């Protein structure tokens, strides 16, 4: 019985960690100030939850290095969007 409980717990743990490996279309919104003007840039990325967090961190580091003030990065899942549609949104 003890082995069954341990096996179930292991399967549950593996199932929960794999949730970050599912690809979605993310809208990435960057907002910053440059010469007193607020600028917003929106792009779309087909990626996983884990990778989008790393991407956000790299954008924040690049913004700080460039000297932008009030630099913010936010990402939002675009539900029901295919990979092709996601990539195409960057060109509209």
Q: What is the pLDDT of residues 25-49, one digit of tens each?
A: 999 999 998 888 999 999 999 999 9
pLDDT at residue 21 in the model? 80
Distance of CA 65 to the CA centre of its chain: 21
pLDDT at residue 69 in the model? 79
Q: Please give the Cα distance from 3 to 50 (Å, whole number).
A: 31
User: Tokens in use for 31?
Assistant: 């907002």
User: pTM, whole model, 2 decimals?
Assistant: 0.71
Q: Structural domain boundaries of the chain?
A: 20-89
Q: What is the pLDDT of residues 60-81, one digit of tens each?
A: 999 889 888 788 999 999 988 9
Distances 55 to 49, 58, 73 between C-alpha atoms, Å:
10, 5, 10
Span between the terminal Cα atoms of the chain, in Å: 58
């Amino acid at each position: 019985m003890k082995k069954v409980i341990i096996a179930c717990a292991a399967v549950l743990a593996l199932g929960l960690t794999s949730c970050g490996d599912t690809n979605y279309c993310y809208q990435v919104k960057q907002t910053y100030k440059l010469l007193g003007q607020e600028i917003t840039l929106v792009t779309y990325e087909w990626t996983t939850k884990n990778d989008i967090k790393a991407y956000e961190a790299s954008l924040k580091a690049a913004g700080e290095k460039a000297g932008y003030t009030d630099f913010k990065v936010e990402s939002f899942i675009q539900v029901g969007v295919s990979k092709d549609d996601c990539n195409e949104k960057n060109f509209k």
